[in-house]
Each structure stands twice: as C-alpha cells, then as structure tokens.
C-alpha cells in the first residue's frame, strides 16, 4: 500500500466552481472513508478522500492550495501518483442511517451510502455555503430514501446549517446511526446533537497530513494518529478527544485554534 503507483486520468467532471472529480483505474480495494496520498510531480503530495471505490476509483478535489489547484487543471490522459488506500473507514451500519455532509464531505460519505445497499433505510442531508457548492446531489438521491439540502445563504433548500437539519431529523425520526463528514466545527456540533439524542455516530476528520502512514505525527489529535486510527472515529472515541473541535496542528506541527 505504501508503494506509489502511477494512474492515468480517465474522466474529469466539474462538480461546481473550483471542485472537480477525477476518475482513474486502480484495482486495489478501497473501503468507504479511506483516502489516498496523491502526488503531482514538482508540486506536492496531498491526502484525498476516495469518492468512488469501484475499480474505476475517483477523488473529488476542492481547489484551496497549490496542489489542489494543480489537480483541478488535470485533463483526461494526464497522470498522477497515488499511495494507499490508508486509514480506517466507515463501519457499514445496520438499521436506519442519517448521513450529514458539509462542504466536500459528501465525497467521503457517498461510497458508504452506496455500500449500505438499501436506499430505503438511508436519509441524506447536504450542507453548503451556496447553491453552486452543493455536491453530488443526483448521486445521493439514487442511493437514499430522501435528500435534503441547506445553504448558508438560502439559495438552495432551506437557509441554515446541516446540523440544524440533523437536529430536526433526530426529533422527527429514529435513527440507529449517524455518519458525518465536513469541517471540524460542524462535526463537533454534530457529535453534540447526536449525544443529546443518544444516537451513535461515526465522523470523518480532516487533519494536516504529510505521510499518511502514521510516521510524521502531523495529524495527531490527543496522541491519536488520524491517518492510521482514523480518519473515521466513533462517537465514543471522539468524546475522549479534548482537542476535537477546538484546536489542530499546522504544517509546522504547532497547535492552533480552529
């Protein structure tokens, strides 16, 4: 898994302004919630959640820095290097499931939704800043019973946050498990909402990663390596993390407030 391999881009889909899905062939099995370390020669190597886990894999890239901007410019037949997959993904739950994705979090969550294999027991909630950033909506509709959208500016769906919708759904319906991925402040609020209703959850964290293999320590939270023990953690695990939702480490390893 640590050996880098070169793959060729087979399709490029512009999901939204500055957000692109790249597909490529890779026969190594990937579990929902795992990630690759993606390398661009002369640019950088960055962690990317796997958004498609069939033989034709995929990553969904939001352009926020030099490496992600370079990924967003790739075309069919261009090549990238990948290592992995790394980390522990979602444990596919039984019973009824509520899925909450903020920002590009749906890219990590949808393979888990599809792995459940029964749209009748999954509801999906998608949160974004604006209508133009709502991701993978049609794909979510195919794999779930119902999909609801919230945007910060009210340009699509209801105005508000995805956590607001989670709280309402937990009041209205019974769920056996909540799956979530998004900004850490959102995930902290999501954990609190689940705890208030005594509903278990699994949340995927995003931390600064250099190696992806548990060696550098840049992603450590309370002594736990997100790249190895995570990135998906249970609610029981998250409750023990004092740094969760409050601080993170930067590229120099210094602790900074979220």
Q: What is the pLDDT along the chain (258 residues), one digit of tens a residue?
A: 578 999 999 999 999 999 999 999 999 999 999 999 999 989 999 999 999 999 899 999 999 999 999 999 999 999 999 999 999 999 999 999 999 999 899 999 999 999 999 999 999 999 999 999 999 999 999 999 999 999 999 999 999 999 999 999 999 999 999 999 999 999 999 999 999 999 999 999 988 888 887 888 788 888 899 989 999 999 999 999 988 877 777 676 667 777
The CATH number assigned to the domain holding 46 equals 2.40.30.10
pLDDT at residue 252, as a whole number:
66
pLDDT at residue 247, as a whole number:
72
pLDDT at residue 219, as a whole number:
85
| Distance separating alpha carbons of residues 143 and 166, to the nearest angstrom | 19
pLDDT at residue 251, as a whole number:
73
Residues 36 and 66 in one domain: yes
| Distance separating alpha carbons of residues 199 and 39, to the nearest angstrom | 38
Angle ∠(203,239,189) on CA atoms, nearest 5:
55
- Distances in Å between the Cα of 40 and the Cα atoms of 69, 70, 87 are 11, 8, 21
- Distances in Å between the Cα of 119 and the Cα atoms of 93, 124, 147, 247 are 13, 10, 11, 36
| Distance separating alpha carbons of residues 62 and 178, to the nearest angstrom | 24
- Distances in Å between the Cα of 131 and the Cα atoms of 65, 69, 111, 181, 235 are 22, 21, 22, 19, 30
Task: Say whether 22 sits in a helix, a strand or coil.
Answer: strand
Number of domains in the chain: 2
Residues 52 and 114 in one domain: no
Residue 28 lies in a domain: yes
Residue 91 lies in a domain: no
Residue 92 lies in a domain: no
Residues 43 and 118 in one domain: no
Neighbour-count burial for 14-25, b at 16+ CB within 10 Å, e otherwise? ebbeebbbbbbe
Residues 37 and 110 in one domain: no
Residues 116 and 235 in one domain: yes
């Amino acid at each position: 898994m640590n050996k880098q391999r070169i793959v060729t881009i087979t399709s490029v889909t512009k999901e939204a302004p500055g957000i692109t899905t790249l597909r490529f062939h890779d026969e190594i099995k990937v579990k929902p919630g795992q990630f690759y370390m993606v390398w661009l020669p002369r640019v950088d190597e960055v962690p990317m959640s796997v958004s498609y886990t069939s033989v034709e894999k995929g990553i969904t890239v939001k352009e926020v820095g030099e490496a992600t901007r370079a990924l967003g410019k790739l075309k069919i037949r261009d090549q990238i290097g990948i290592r992995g997959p790394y980390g522990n993904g979602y444990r596919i739950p039984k019973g009824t499931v509520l899925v909450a994705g903020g920002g590009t979090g749906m890219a990590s969550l949808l393979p888990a939704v599809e792995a459940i294999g029964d749209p009748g027991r999954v509801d999906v909630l998608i949160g974004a800043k604006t209508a133009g950033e709502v991701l993978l909506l049609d794909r979510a509709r195919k794999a779930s019973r119902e999909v609801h959208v919230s945007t910060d500016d009210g340009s699509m769906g209801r105005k508000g946050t995805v956590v607001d919708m989670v709280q309402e759904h937990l009041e209205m319906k019974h769920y056996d498990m909540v799956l979530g991925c998004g900004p850490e402040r959102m995930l902290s609020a999501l954990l609190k909402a689940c705890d208030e209703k005594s509903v278990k959850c699994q949340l995927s964290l995003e931390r600064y990663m250099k190696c992806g293999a548990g060696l550098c320590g840049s992603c450590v939270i309370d002594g736990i390596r997100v790249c190895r023990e995570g990135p998906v953690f249970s609610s029981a695990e998250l409750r023990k993390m004092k740094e969760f939702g409050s601080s993170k480490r930067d590229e120099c390893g210094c602790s900074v407030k979220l």
